[in-house]
Structure 1
Amino acid sequence: MVENTSESHCRMELLQCSVNVAYLKSLGLDSNVEYARREIIAEFEKAAPSSKSIDVSMPDFHGIDIHSQSNPHSDIELPEAFCQSAVAIQFPEPQKRPDLSHIIFGVSTSVDRLEESLDQFAHWASHSNAKFVVLLHAETASPEAISRVERKAAMFGIALMFEQSDASFPDRYYSLTRMVYQMRDETTKWCAMIDDDTFFPSIAVLVDYLSGYDTSQPHYIGGLSEDFNQVKAYGYMAYGGAGVFMTMPLLAQIDGNFDSCYSLQRGGDTRIAHCVHQHTLTKLVVHPRLHQLDMNGDLSGFYESGRPQPLSIHHWKSWHHANMTALAQVASVCGDSCLLQRWRLNDGWFLTNGYSVMKPSGNLKEDDFTMEHTWNENGAYLHSVEPLRPKDDAKVSYKLEAAVAENEGNLVRQFYVKRSEGANRVLEIVWRQA
């Protein structure tokens, strides 16, 4: 996608000017809330430029009492002061979700974690003919729990094939290579080893990338840890949370050496790397947008960088916290490519779609590609996320806490929240298709 800074938007009439009090109450806010609203209309053109700026300002905030309404489940028509004219943004035509029948995804997890993960798996895998081989820790895998997860997966059109083991996580992870190989059929081209917190913002972009490889040949593709100190400690390999992608010819070679590689006392992804490098001539292909994200704490700098969309995101519910299910909702309006797209407003605020609305303390240009170093570690990032800029402790941020799809996904309400004592603020961005 070619980006430029030309304005590809215009003012349009609002579809509605209202707020659903139940949505605000679900955020756990006090009665008095400072509330603002902006409506964005997604328009599509085959060759639409992707602008980096929007000719609007941050809307004004007004106080409302969310507990004073007699009917807490109805929309409240808002005074004119709350709402400003909608802005339209042009996007390329969304890509259709590809058929994933040629990929088997391997996951080692527990029943509870898998159940939690299905909501974000649904963004990229629902009704796609994707196959999942799931190796469950036996202690977590009661028949009732498995049935519950199967019913939820069926709602999303996701096929799960379960196996159980009481082996350690590294052993279970490596064992997936044999299970996937044994479950392959004539259509299977790729094995994708993932963690239960691996998220693909656009599976179509990932599949397009993989289609450039000759699957009759062995290939081993993945991402390194962003911190080279981790690479020095654990090795040069495809890190599991970023996704490990292997063609069937390579998986056949691994399977032929399964027992000797299984005996290695190493982590699951490390064991795969050692098996590949010790028993085959295949070498790792590193894709820099497959992200392991071995960083703790505040990763707003990563998400707000305005760089090309990641192919994968990891550790989003453990080492750091970002709501991938809420982030993905807006794709039903503007397509997968708009997730994490960043725009600069004309008063210096930045909207990172599905993550935050923030204003840096200094002047940041719309095409600034430095990444704010917000996370805890001071590692070695030259090979991965440099160039960096120092953490901006004075920036103001509204983080996405919830998103709700309405009208069969043609309208999405995003709720960006800034919590502070006595002054909770909510910015609702309403997305709809033209």
Structure 2
Amino acid sequence: MPSRRHIITVTSSISSFALFVFILVVLGLRYTARGSGADVASPPSLPEENNIFSGYGEAKSRCPSEAPWLNQIRIDRPFQYARRDIILRPNRDLARKSVTKLDEALFPDFQDISEGDNHLASSTCLEPLRLEVPAWPETYPDASHVIFGLSTSMARLEDSLVYFQRWMSFTKARVIIVVTGEADIMPKHSDMRDLERRMRQMGMHVTLVRPMEEGMPMEMRYFSLVKVLMEHRDGRTEWAVFMDDDTFFPSMREFINTLNDYDASKLVYLGAISEEWWAVARYSFMGFGGAGVLLSVPLLELVDRHYQDCIDQSGAGAGDMRIYECIRWYSDTGLQHVNGLFQIDLHGDRSGLFESGRKIVSLHHWKEGWWDEGQLGTPRPGHATWFPMDRMNVVADVCAECFLQRWQFGDDLVLSNGYTIATYPNGALSKFERHRGLEKVEETWIKPGVIKGANNPGWDHYLGVMRPPLELEHEKIQYRFLDAWKVDGGVRQFYHHFGVNGSLDTVMELFWIREENWKVGKTP
């Protein structure tokens, strides 16, 4: 029988060993923090699900007498102005519709807002509008089984932070970014680590790496993501996503739901062909990179095994084409086209797509053409022409999948949430509905490339039979998205129309708020 002293000695040894193991574990966690995402910021709390239906009774319109927030919008005064509160109620049995028709008007009468005056006339106030929307989830989506890869420069990445944050943060999605230099000067390691740290503090599970080889051309950097994503995948990874730095996912939850329709244990190649038939005819039935190229891990492994052979054989000038070639050469796997992924090979005014009510899972080319799409106002340089996707999409924080969802009010107004409020003068919408239908996409952009002898006039293979564009300012008046921000438990959203023929500019405001956050007497 062991003595008491022996027991104490053994116990002390066990305690010392346990302490030693604990120290090793801690050091190991610190060592693996960069790869595991342990230093990624924690998500902010979300409302509890059981609070969703705890309304505050029949709230009366707040009808504020002053609107000091108008000082925050960058529109010259005087302008015409109208506003409306929208109270949102979740309905678990309601599916997202392309368009929901309502008999009532959206806005009251307009009033003039002059310099230094934010007073609101009571005569221009309407009771809050109550809308039912599909029930919103009360947790952040879990995308830990997806790894994203892209290649871009430090400067472009810095400019894109708030846009990446909009869809990426707190989703556990892992993102590997191959960072290139400017004018062949590679960024410093310290600068890369600093940017990586800032992105992680914004809730993004990001790792920044250098190119496999300095001086690699763009198409090779894109294809090299095969190796990069293979190196950084972990035991949870089921999907690898190749994207551009101007690819935007309006809803990570909707993207994950899309992936759930496919079996990631098999060889699966997902993506979207171009909306333009000319591009499909030229580049083949492949996944176009800006919409996102999605490979199951087994298919990623297959491409990785043949990586060097594919490099040696290919002369393609684009990385997405090289991925397509490699899959075609070494497997029988064909592209499965996914509706909702959009390459956006549409040039000029893309209103027709964004006003179509279609659910957009991914979109490309948002860094061009926003402000001057409708040929109204003064063209703006640089970033001011980008689609402000981070603010256009913020309304989704209070109504989940409602971004770009449409509501028709009466016979002459359609709201495409986060994009435009469009009015149709002189009964144009009624005529338009009888002869063309809101279910068809309006062809507002530049005509497609011509393929001699083709039966497809340009877009039918993806967007269906199109309808001709309406004449702006005559058949359709667009109030374009201007700005939005979160405030008082809701989202304040603005739309703007330039005055024509000497008339004032017009600003429309919508204040979106969930029913449980609507409190009687509190000014929004």
TM-score in terms of structure 2 length: 0.74
Gaps of 5+ in 2: 1-57, 371-385, 450-457, 516-524
Paired position in structure 2 for 1:357: 421
The code of the aligned residue for 2:315 comes to: Q
The whole-number CA distance in structure 2 between the counterparts of 1:19 and 1:111 is 44
When residues 20 and 167 of structure 1 are mapped into structure 2, their CA distance, relative to the original with a 3 A threshold, is farther
Matched, 1:370 2:413: no
Aligned equivalent of 2:116, options 53, 63, 68:
68
Q: 1:215: how far off?
A: 1.8
Aligned length: 413
**270, 278, 283: which one aligns with 1:234:** 283
Tell me the residue number matched to 2:195: 149
Partner of 2:11: none
The one-letter amino acid paired with 2:270 is I
SS at the partner of 1:68? coil
Equivalent residue letter for 1:291: F
CA positional deviation for 1:318: 2.1
Distance in 2 (CA, whole Å) between partners of 1:19 and 1:157 is: 36
Which of 284, 288, 297 is matched with 2:348 structurally? 297
Tell me, in whole angstroms, the C-alpha distance in 2 between the residues paired with 1:189 and 1:115. Answer: 29
Deviates more, 1:101-110 or 1:145-154: 145-154
Identity of aligned residues (%): 33
Shift of 1:254: 0.5
Q: 1:428 aligns with which of 486, 500, 509?
A: 509
Contact 2:442 2:468 in 1 (8 A): yes
Look up the match of 1:36: 82
Distance 1:399 1:427, change over 3 A: same
2:475 equivalent to 1:411: no
Cα distance in 1, alignment partners of residues 254 and 263 from structure 2: 17
Which of 396, 400, 405 in structure 2 is aligned with 1:331?
A: 396
Instruction: Show CA shifts across 1:200-249 (max 9, x none).
Output: 12221221221232222111000000001001122221011111110111
Residue 177 of structure 2 is aligned with which of 134, 141, 163? 134
Question: Aligned to 1:285, what secondary structure does the other structure show?
Answer: strand
Any conservation in 2 of the 1:137–1:167 contact (CA below 8 Å)? no
Tell me the alpha carbon deviations over residues 331-371 of structure 1, each in whole angstroms, 9 at most, x when there is no partner.
11111x11110010114100001110002352244972111
Alignment of 1:36-115 (within 5 A): 36-48=82-94, 52-57=100-105, 58-65=107-114, 67-68=115-116, 76=118, 78-95=120-137, 96-115=139-158
Cα–Cα, structure 1 residues 12 and 53, in superposed 2: closer, same or farther, change >3 Å? Answer: farther
Give the whole-Å Cα distance in 2 for the aligned partners of 1:404 and 1:373.
Answer: 31
The alignment status of 1:273 with 2:324, answered yes or no, reads yes
1:332-347 matched pairs, under 5 angstroms = 332-335=397-400, 337-347=401-411
Q: Aligned AA for 1:310?
A: I
Match in the other structure for 1:4: none
Question: Does structure 1 retain, via aligned residues, the 8 Å contact 2:144–2:171?
Answer: yes
Alignment root-mean-square deviation, CA: 2.2
Q: So what's the TM-score if we normalise by structure 1?
A: 0.89
4+ aligned runs moved over 6 Å, structure 1: none
The 8 Å contact of residues 36 and 427 in structure 1, kept in 2 or not, is answered as yes
| The one of 466, 474, 478 aligned to 1:397 | 478
Q: How does 1:143-182 map to 2 (within 5 A)?
A: 143=189, 145-165=191-211, 166-182=215-231
Q: CA deviation at 1:273?
A: 0.2
Cα distance in 2 between the residues matched to 1:419 and 1:148: 42
- 2: CA distance, partners of 1:99 / 1:227: 33
Please name the residue that 2:28 is paired with: none
2:195 and 2:484 mapped to 1: Cα distance? 24
CA distance in 2, matches of 1:196, 1:59: 41
- 2:222 is aligned with 1:222: no
Question: Residues 341 and 256 (structure 1 numbering): CA distance in 2 closer, same or farther, change over 3 Å?
Answer: same
State the distance in 2 between where 1:261 and 1:319 align.
Answer: 36
Q: Which amino acid aligns with 2:307?
A: F
Retained in 1: the 8 A contact 2:111–2:121? no
Larger radius of gyration: 2
Alpha carbons of structure 1 residues 152 and 26: separation in structure 2 relative to 1, 3 Å: farther
Measured after TM superposition, the shift of residue 16 of structure 1 is: 4.7
Match of 2:376 in 1: none
Q: Separation in 2 of the partners of 1:118 and 1:83?
A: 38
Q: Could you tell me which residue of structure 2 aligns to residue 310 of structure 1?
A: 360
Equivalent position to 2:243, from 194, 197, 200: 194
